[in-house]
Amino acid sequence: MAKHKLYDEKVKRMADVGAGRIPDRVPICGLMETYALAYSGTLLKDAATSIKANVHGHAKIYKDIYYDCAYVPTLAHAWEVSDVLGSDVYFISGDGFTEQHKEYAPMVDEDYAALAADPIRFILDEFAPRKFTAFDGTNEEQRKAFLSSLLPFMKFAGALIYGNIVFKNQDTPIVVGGAAEMPLDFLFDYLRGFRPTIGDLRRHGDEVKAATEALLDYSIDLTHMTNLMMGGMSGGLPWMLKNGVNAIVLRNDFEFTPFPWIFNPCHIPPFISPKQFEEFYWPGYKAVAEHIHAHGGHLLTVLEGEWGREKLEILTQLPDHCVTLVVENDDPKFVKDTVFNQSIMAGLPLELLRNGTRDECIDAAKQMVDELAPGGRFIFCTGNKVLLSPADAKPENIRAVNEFVHGYGLYY
């Protein structure tokens, strides 16, 4: 077999599903983060400070168990950067493997006008010093803090580059090639937090709309910069140089990699009504999704929690085959039938992978393939949520299910 032929076959399998074509077999995606470290016995504190421990700790499960692609090759967050800048938002659970984070969103009601007027200036001048104590000082102290973060950031970027090399050498493509934070999610996740944002939709609706409209350009720029950093291995050096100049210097149109895809976790939609979704969330989401699609990319959206019929039906307004929807609590068959012009990714309930027998898991996987594979537009993934804790699933169940789906999920 020619070098990386198997890798190329797996990439094509994923790309076919994303584009609405029927592949040769149902692809299998590893939807996991720190669970992979637990599998390899790599402590999170070691992965957070060592590129080698980080990458090889994540790679072992994909070497031992069949997958068509991996979610990420490294830790998803730059732990050392946060530590250097004085933020303790990320922390390690008692098991030594599971990454957790706490909410710290220091924006107050009175900040909406400044955020809407100039989001970047507000984030740099007001938000960053509140979030990162190292930036709360004189200009010289801020300069030193910024310089002190460069090496940890380079280590984070270096781990992504090294991770892509290691995973490619073991014929495992990485599905995430950048990130998209939708405008209202950015407000919800980082600036205002859970309860204030939910309340603001009722009390400060006009201010929220103005802020999310102002944050749209920031959201689109984020997709460009993260695709440059995470998708560069796929795009190649000429692609990186051209798009780096376009994104940073000329501000011209950006050309996304067709694969890997732009990852997008949707956090606030399960907590708002369909009317609020359409009014506050949908305009920003639609604009970002259409921008990525129009410039050659593909969005991987996690439908966190349960969305329900009305919100799902709104998604049919998107261009055909511009997004793959990762299903959590909604019924996957219902999602596939309702959002008929997009593809889906779905897996078994973690409760079953954690507590079920091998045969019970295989029976459930067979039913899922039988229901969702016809007509294509389906990727099987590890579970219905991202695996984090070592207790989330039995490795032997994952192995058995993946081997079954790989053999059973044939189209031709």
pTM of the model: 0.93
Q: What is the pLDDT of residue 288?
A: 97
Q: What is the pLDDT of residue 290?
A: 97
Q: What is the pLDDT of residue 90?
A: 80
Q: How do 378-381 and 28-30 pair as beta strands? A: parallel
| Whether 67 contacts 29, CB under 8 Å | yes
- The total of structural domains in the chain comes to 1
| Chain-centroid distance, C-alpha 357 | 30
Tokens of 345: 């990714």
End-to-end CA distance of the chain: 21
CA distance 30 to 19: 20
Question: Which among 12, 139, 152 has a CA at the least distance from the CA of 82?
Answer: 152
Question: Which residue type occupies 383?
Answer: G
| Burial class, 43, CB count within 10 angstroms (exposed 0-12 / middle 13-18 / buried 19+) | middle
| Whether 361 contacts 397, CB under 8 Å | yes
Q: Which residues of 312-326 are buried (b: 16+ CB within 10 A; e: fewer)?
A: bebbeebeebbbbbb
Range of the domain at 348: 5-408
Question: Which among 72, 69, 16 has a CA at the least distance from the CA of 373?
Answer: 16
> Which string of DSSP letters, residue by residue, matches 31-56?
-BSTHHHHHHT--HHHHTT-HHHHHH
Q: What is the pLDDT of residue 2?
A: 64
Task: Output the domain CATH number for residue 178.
Answer: 3.20.20.210
Output the CA–CA distances (angstroms, integers) from residue 161 to 112, 187, 246, 314, 360, in the order listed. 38, 30, 22, 37, 39
Q: What is the pLDDT of residue 1?
A: 46
Tokens of 4: 């990386």
> Which 3 state secondary structure label does DSSP give 381?
strand
**Which residues are within 8 A (CB) of 221 and not within 5 positions of it... i.e. 6 or more apart?**
247
Total Cβ atoms within 10 A of residue 94 = 6
**Mean pLDDT, 10 residues at a time, the chain of 412 residues:** 84 97 97 95 94 96 97 89 82 85 84 96 90 87 89 90 94 96 95 94 96 96 92 85 83 88 96 97 98 97 96 98 97 98 97 97 98 97 92 97 97 86
**158: which strand partners?**
none
| Whether 19 contacts 321, CB under 8 Å | yes
| Burial class, 366, CB count within 10 angstroms (exposed 0-12 / middle 13-18 / buried 19+) | middle
**In the chain, how long is the greatest CA-to-CA distance?**
65
Question: Which among 258, 233, 99, 226 has a CA at the least distance from the CA of 166?
Answer: 233
